[in-house]
Amino acid sequence: MKGHMGKILRIDLTSRSLSVIDTAQYEGWFGGHGMGSAIFWDLCKDKAISGYDPRNVITIMTSPLSGTLVPSASGRTEICGIGIQSYPTEWYTRSNVGGRFSAMLKYAGWDGIVIEGKADKPVWINIINDQVTIESAESLWGLDAWQTQEEIWSAVMGERNYEGWWQVGTARDSGRSTQKPAVLAIGQAGEHLNRNAAIIHDAGNGAGQGGFGGVWGAKNLKAISVMGTGSISIADPNALIEARRWHQSRQYNVDAPAMQFPTDNFPPMYGTMARTPGFAPLILPVTEPSRPKGCAGCFVACRKRTQSGYSNESTCVETAYYLDGGPEIQWKAADLLQRYGLNVYDINIFNYLRELNKMGILGRGKQIECDLPFEKFGSWEFIDMYCRQIAYREGIGADLGEGIIRASAKWGRLEEDLNSGILPFPNWGFNEHYDPRLEVEWSYGSILGDRDINEHDFNWYVHWMPMVTAAAGQPPAYSAEKISEIFAKKLSPYNDPMMPDYSEEGIYSDAKIKSVAWHRHYTRFYKQSMLFCDWAWPDLINVNVPNLEGTTGEAEPKFINAVTGGNITFEEGMELGRKIWNLDRAIWTLQGRHRDQEVHAGYVYNVPTTVPYHLPVYENGEWKFSTCEGRTLDRNKWEDFKTRYYKFEGWDPETGWPTRAALSSVGLGQVADELAKNDRLGK
């Protein structure tokens, strides 16, 4: 298949041996998550092991689109393996990091990397085209993720690591580049095996969810560096550039935008609708001179690099988790995360810790000993100490490095605090991202899976748009009925106009089953295997064009076929997504998954929503936007929904396990055999 480089690098850290997997063996999975799950299935013989176990198999995968001009699909890397963050079970999971690593890996001639075993001493992997060496990382151990990358740039390129052509070796035709090596690295948090440790790339790209930084630390793997100077074959170059022109012509025009913002202070907020440059750092108001920064091949460029250099490339909550001290401390706090390699979502728990402090439970000389200066919350001193303690597992960090969910369990508070909602972690020990009682594709998809899904496919349209326009005192950019109309057109193969109904009835409806299934299948293939970026795809409703219709449905296969030379349809991609979703389900089943576990934290059912939360609803025969106050999930209705969803996917409604019929329908008969052998095949 064009777009593939033909080989996957397999590294056994225990024996320090290298080998090559022929990509063609896994070609039918295309790349990314699908290919990673298939490799994991084959190579990780005991899938019920801990994520810390040396036998854990970690895949770091590209896609056929990586390194190509396909918009916002060129730079993302999918990382899979058994994670260490989810609770109570360490599920097989995934994370995804932007930047340019996957592109560079392709230019070096590799479709992915598979990591097995555990090195006896700290190491880093040095990939320069087809030359791969395992290097000592003893001099890097203890450095933060930025220092590590800078040291590796110098180690690979010598002192002249910028501003010129760098020659691979000494032969005239061995390749040259002006780019820095692309490096994935862990900081001190990963070295200390934190369950909230991230893998960091460049300044602000992080694979956070799952705790893969701690998994790397357990393998004594500090970093992987790659420098590539080779070419990726493209089946139809003209079709590719013309598809890019076509798609881009329908996106935000930076010089002549179709949408005008109502106020000066709202660019990032309106950027969630129009996909404007630099919208990802949610900083209001915008005061710091900066430029937008895009990952490789991106048409949005949602990040920023700033005049101060603070918060370079950081996004979203990273730039806004610590607001009380003002902009400079806020931005520097983002850099603490990137340097230590910390997952912001697990450490953004100030409300909980301060509540325990106020209750007299946590603090100096209290039941839970903690020497953090809560009286100085908002200061640099506080956040510096807080992040350091977690990264080094010092003080309260000894507990918080295990992740807040396990810390709370150790303190004997978990059940009570999940029930009251002062610890709002609804799914598998992951922090609340959007309201699990209301925006249910998110919470259903998370609990039916392995983590906080962090997939914004519907979220921009159904929640952000009405919320932002309401906050600005403006009418919605489009009606709830328009959402229904376009979703019905775009969400193939189901095409049900009731899918975006978030009313009390709608969230348990058959249409919502289709909506959840579409979301699971679309993301598994298009986003996590083909690696279209979550913040740029799908293109469903587009405020930059008069008819509001995005390119999704037409665009994805157009790009894939231009690169690969294939003839895949959008629906065939959705079916591949279903296949990957089923394979993951089989892995979780072997890890001990049962339907009884797929229940959200208590507060989701016990504590009604109080804050206005905008979503489209269909009530009394008409579409409208509602603020959805006073809502909870109903336990019985959720159980009924689960039963119907399992049947929809072809899974056993008693256990939630995949059936032979479901697995065979997507060509996974051998997976059914393995489940049967383990007495875990659904009936």
**Which residues in 257-316 contact another protein (CB under 8 A)?**
257, 261, 264, 267-268, 271, 276-278, 285-286, 289-301, 305-309, 312-313
163 binds another protein (CB under 8 A): yes
Amino acid identity for residue 440 in this structure: V
Question: Applying CB under 8 A, which of residues 95, 229, 330, 589 lies at the interface with another protein?
Answer: 229
Q: How many CA atoms lie within 13 A of 442 on its CB side?
A: 22
Quick check: 516 and 441 in contact, CB under 8 A? yes
Query: Shortest Cβ distance from residue 124 to another protein (Å)?
Result: 18
Q: Which residues inside 584-603 make contact with another protein, applying CB under 8 A?
A: none
Residue appearing with tokens 């002062």 = 422
Question: Applying CB under 8 A, which of residues 173, 375, 596, 679 lies at the interface with another protein?
Answer: 173
Phi, psi of 369 (to 5 degrees): -70, 130
Instruction: Give the residues across from 589 on adjacent strands.
Output: none
Around Cβ 163, how many Cβ atoms within 10 Å?
A: 7
Question: Applying CB under 8 A, which of residues 254, 471, 661, 676 lies at the interface with another protein?
Answer: 254
Query: Shortest Cβ distance from residue 585 to another protein (Å)?
Result: 35
Nearer to another protein, 70 or 353 (CB): 70
> Exposed, middle or buried, 165 (CB in 10 Å: 0-12/13-18/19+)?
exposed
Quick check: 337 and 365 in contact, CB under 8 A? no
Nearer to another protein, 37 or 68 (CB): 68
Amino acid identity for residue 368 in this structure: I
Amino acid identity for residue 326 in this structure: G
516 binds another protein (CB under 8 A): no
Helix (H, G, I), strand (E, B) or coil at 638: helix
Nearer to another protein, 299 or 508 (CB): 299
Q: How many residues bind another protein (CB under 8 A)?
A: 77
Query: Shortest Cβ distance from residue 37 to another protein (Å)?
Result: 26
Question: Applying CB under 8 A, which of residues 177, 606, 609, 664 lies at the interface with another protein?
Answer: 177
- Please give the C-alpha separations between residue 146 and each of 103, 336, 392, 596, in angstroms, as whole numbers: 20, 10, 17, 43
Query: Shortest Cβ distance from residue 287 to another protein (Å)?
Result: 8
For the beta sheet containing 7-12, the strands, ordered from the edge strand earlier in sequence to the opposite edge, are 17-22, 7-12, 112-116, 58-61, 77-82, 92-97
Query: Shortest Cβ distance from residue 167 to another protein (Å)?
Result: 9
Nearer to another protein, 171 or 611 (CB): 171
Query: Shortest Cβ distance from residue 331 to another protein (Å)?
Result: 12
Q: Which residues inside 185-204 make contact with another protein, applying CB under 8 A?
A: 202-204
Nearer to another protein, 298 or 372 (CB): 298
Nearer to another protein, 186 or 232 (CB): 232
Binding span for another protein by CB under 8 A among 22-30, 164-172, 347-355, 458-466: 164-172
Query: Shortest Cβ distance from residue 108 to another protein (Å)?
Result: 11
Q: Which residues inside 33-72 make contact with another protein, applying CB under 8 A?
A: 67-69, 71
Nearer to another protein, 271 or 363 (CB): 271
534 binds another protein (CB under 8 A): no
Q: Which residues inside 70-99 make contact with another protein, applying CB under 8 A?
A: 71, 74
Quick check: 505 and 621 in contact, CB under 8 A? no
Q: What is the 3-state secondary structure (H, E, C) of 90-107?
A: CCEEEEEECCCHHHHHHH
Q: Which residues inside 100-129 make contact with another protein, applying CB under 8 A?
A: 100, 103, 106-107
Query: Shortest Cβ distance from residue 413 to another protein (Å)?
Result: 40
Residue 614 CA to residue 502 CA, distance in Å, equals 10
Residue 262 CA to residue 400 CA, distance in Å, equals 42
Nearer to another protein, 284 or 599 (CB): 284
**CB under 8 A, 24+ apart: contacts of 282-291:** 282/316, 282/317, 282/319, 282/320, 283/311, 283/319, 283/320, 283/327, 283/330, 283/331, 287/327, 288/327, 288/331
Nearer to another protein, 413 or 558 (CB): 558
209 binds another protein (CB under 8 A): no
For the beta sheet containing 131-136, the strands, ordered from the edge strand earlier in sequence to the opposite edge, are 131-136, 123-128, 221-227, 182-186, 199-201, 205-207
Query: Shortest Cβ distance from residue 604 to another protein (Å)?
Result: 37
* Site track for another protein across 234-253, x = CB under 8 A: x--xx-xxx-xx--x--x-x
Nearer to another protein, 291 or 358 (CB): 291
Nearer to another protein, 19 or 248 (CB): 248
- Give DSSP secondary structure letters for 146-164: HHHHHHHHHHHH-S--SSS
> In 532-657, which ranges are continuous DSSP H helix?
555-564, 570-590, 603-606, 635-649
Helix (H, G, I), strand (E, B) or coil at 137: coil
- Angle, helices 510-522 vs 635-649, to 10°: value is 60
Residue 216 CA to residue 621 CA, distance in Å, equals 54
Nearer to another protein, 278 or 341 (CB): 278
Query: Shortest Cβ distance from residue 554 to another protein (Å)?
Result: 19
Binding span for another protein by CB under 8 A among 86-94, 169-177, 424-432, 611-619: 169-177
677 binds another protein (CB under 8 A): no
Nearer to another protein, 33 or 339 (CB): 339
Query: Shortest Cβ distance from residue 299 to another protein (Å)?
Result: 4
Q: Which residues inside 312-371 make contact with another protein, applying CB under 8 A?
A: 312-313
